[in-house]
Amino acid sequence: MNRIFYLSIWIFFIILVPFFAGCKSQTGTVLKPGAKQLSGSHKAGQEVYEPLVTEAVARLLGADQMNASTPVPKRICFVGVENFSSEEMADYKEQLYEMIDTAISSSGQFISISRRYVEPAIRSERFRMDDLFIPENQRKLQAALEKDGQPFEYLLFAKLTSGTTVDNQDSQRDYRLSLELININDGSSIKEGCDLSKAYNRSIGAKLRNR
């Protein structure tokens, strides 16, 4: 009887150890188009950035069409994404740049200079993002890129900001992506943006309310 009992315990142990070990390991699943996406539990991810980019770019393109005097595509220099939100973006900063650049370039309204030209030119002049709001520095960057056969007349800036409202254990973060297009010849600009709010819940009541 004891032998059967101990043998059962041993078999049970052998079965459970791999099971619990597997529970602690990470697995991966390729999500099919239209499948439910993950939502970040502590900070923004795809569920925030993708709709922000889609809407902000659409608004910028719409505003540009209203102000355009000719249908000729504008040559623009997209200088990058500034993160003034309360969160570290990690690899999503590069992702955000690529999403904006691709959407702008495929619109037919703009011709975007490759960042492989833009970034070396900015580094060679040792410009920070704020430096490019100074007309003299704009002309220096324009001259540097013209040497590479990449003339432009417009600078495009992207800026991410956030504001946080705290309610005891729970919080709401309001994200805003702003796109600003500046004509370096006359200083005129078009600025558009998009807002999106996300709740971060710790209390049971808020979790049930926002399911």
Residue 35 located in a structural domain:
no
For a pLDDT cut of 70, what percent of the chain falls above it? Answer: 78
In this structure, the number of other CB atoms found within 10 A of the CB of residue 122 comes to: 22
User: Does the residue 72 lie in any domain?
Assistant: yes
Are 148 and 31 in contact by the 8 Å Cβ rule? The answer is no
Number of domains in the chain: 1
**By the 8 A CB rule, do 190 and 64 touch?**
yes
Is residue 185 within 8 Å of 121, Cβ to Cβ? Answer: no
pLDDT digits (tens, 9 = 90+) for 141-153: 999 999 999 999 9
Q: Which domain holds residue 104?
A: 46-209
Give the pLDDT confidence of 44-75 residue by residue, as tens digits.
878 888 999 999 999 999 998 887 766 789 99
Kindly state the average pLDDT of the residues 110-134. 94
In a domain, 172, yes or no: yes
CA separation for the pair 63, 204 (Å, rounded): 43
Measured CA to CA, the distance from residue 151 to residue 117 in angstroms comes to: 11
- Residue 10 is assigned to a structural domain of this protein: no
- The verdict on residue 23 lying in a domain is no
Asked if residue 12 is part of any domain, the answer here is no
Provide mean pLDDT across the span 75-88. Answer: 94
pLDDT at 113 over 60: yes
Task: Tell me the whole-structure pTM to 2 decimals.
Answer: 0.79
pLDDT number for residue 54 = 94
Whether 37 is covered by a domain: the verdict is: no
Residue 198 scores a pLDDT above 80? yes
Q: Does residue 9 lie in a domain region?
A: no
Which residue from 153, 134, 159, 131 is spatially nearest to 77, judged by alpha carbons? 153
CA pair distance 140, 100, nearest whole angstrom: 25
* CATH number for the domain harbouring residue 74: 3.40.50.10610
Task: Please tell me the predicted confidence (pLDDT) of residue 168.
Answer: 87
